[in-house]
Structure 1
Amino acid sequence: MNPKKHTFLITLLLLFSSSLLFAQNYILPNEVLVYSFETQKGKKLVLAKDKNNQYLIYRFGTATIIELEYPNTTKESWSKFTYSYYSRGGGIQNEGMDLNYVTFTNGNYQYVIYDTYYAVEDTSEIGIKITNLTTHKTTTIRGNYATKKGSLIDFRTNNLLKIDDE
């Protein structure tokens, strides 16, 4: 083999393997995706569950670093999340809407993952709102709807999360 070609192939292999080495695994082999999207600033939000429904986990970060994984332990993780929703049909005439929220509290912060649709404006929005429970300051991180995968709606009927009626 030509030495230049050999060097090129080794360099290419090293570049490819190093990118895999630094990429974070947002879905483990024993997990399935429940819901995910990329934020408008390119970060990633993932809700995943164990294939046998043993736990639910939230992960958020960049392609190379998971900045937050909640909960720290998967034991009894389902009880750490709540789901709430409101749905009104009838389209524009009835100001139809479909609002879906998954909420959890980590330390002094409440996280609300949202997926909403309003018929009047024909708008869909996804993202996460993070509220400091002491100062009540809320930060909204908007998601890129084109990157959305999965659905929160299944929580209405699958009995995995507590449904909050508020």
Structure 2
Amino acid sequence: MTERTNRNLIILLMLAFSNLIFAQKYLLPNEKLIYSFETQNGKKLVLAKDQNDKYIIYRFGTKNKIEFEFPEKTKESWNLFKYSFYLRGGGIQNEGMDLNYIKFINGDYKYVVHDTYYAVGNVNSILIKITNLKNNKTTDIRGKEKTQKGNLTDFRFNKLLEIEDEQEE
């Protein structure tokens, strides 16, 4: 190989390894994915838990930078998240639906992760709704359905999160 080819190969390898070194992990080695999806603007939401249920964590950001992580990784983290759902079977003839929500409050903002399905129209919707609690302004961050991994329905039975009756919109 020529000196120029070697130099280009070295640069290419350095770039590849720097991506691996500087890219932040959405899942740590001790964590298990609960739910994730990519957003329309190329970011990613990850909801994960410690494999031994020591904590639950929400992460959001790009492949190179986690922009928001909530909360601290402690046993008390489970008390900061709430789960709610509504299930109505019957398919299209009964306007069947399966609505699942995980919510938490951080400072003056309420975050609600939506995973909803409506039989009429066969419509899935995944998104993060962020509400400023001071002025009630909301921002919807829509997810790409085909990137969804995991589900929220296990919280109906696993007793890891408090189940609330209040439904989100």
TM-score, normalised by the number of residues in structure 2: 0.94
Q: Which amino acid aligns with 2:165?
A: D
Q: Which amino acid aligns with 1:141?
A: I
User: Equivalents in 1 of 2:27, 2:134: separation in Å?
Assistant: 33
Q: CA deviation at 1:22?
A: 2.4
Q: Which amino acid aligns with 1:37?
A: F
Deviations 1:78-124 (A, max 9, x none): 00000000000000000000000000000000000000000112100
- SS where residue 24 of structure 2 aligns? coil
Partner residue of 1:125? 125
Q: CA deviation at 1:2?
A: 4.4
Q: Which amino acid aligns with 1:74?
A: T
Partner residue of 1:102? 102
Q: Kindly indicate whether the alpha-carbon contact (under 8 Å) linking 1:130 and 1:138 is maintained by their aligned counterparts in 2.
A: yes
Q: Which amino acid aligns with 2:121?
A: E
Q: CA deviation at 1:73?
A: 4.2
TM-score, normalised by the number of residues in structure 1: 0.96
Partner residue of 1:87? 87
* Sequence identity percentage: 63
1:126-141 alignment runs, 5 A limit: 126-141=126-141
User: Equivalents in 2 of 1:39, 1:128: separation in Å?
Assistant: 9
User: Equivalents in 2 of 1:140, 1:74: separation in Å?
Assistant: 28
Q: How big is the alpha-carbon RMSD for the aligned residues of Structure 1 and Structure 2?
A: 1.2
Q: Kindly indicate whether the alpha-carbon contact (under 8 Å) linking 1:57 and 1:74 is maintained by their aligned counterparts in 2.
A: no
Between 1:74-83 and 1:52-61, the stretch displaced more is 74-83
Aligned length, in residue pairs: 166
User: Equivalents in 1 of 2:3, 2:128: separation in Å?
Assistant: 52
- SS where residue 41 of structure 1 aligns? coil
Q: CA deviation at 1:15?
A: 1.0
* Gap runs ≥5 in structure 1: none
Q: Kindly indicate whether the alpha-carbon contact (under 8 Å) linking 2:56 and 2:73 is maintained by their aligned counterparts in 1.
A: no
User: Equivalents in 1 of 2:74, 2:146: separation in Å?
Assistant: 30
Q: Kindly indicate whether the alpha-carbon contact (under 8 Å) linking 2:55 and 2:73 is maintained by their aligned counterparts in 1.
A: no
Partner residue of 2:15? 15
Partner residue of 1:35? 35
Q: CA deviation at 1:161?
A: 0.5
Q: Kindly indicate whether the alpha-carbon contact (under 8 Å) linking 1:91 and 1:120 is maintained by their aligned counterparts in 2.
A: yes
User: Equivalents in 2 of 1:115, 1:75: separation in Å?
Assistant: 25
- SS where residue 41 of structure 2 aligns? coil
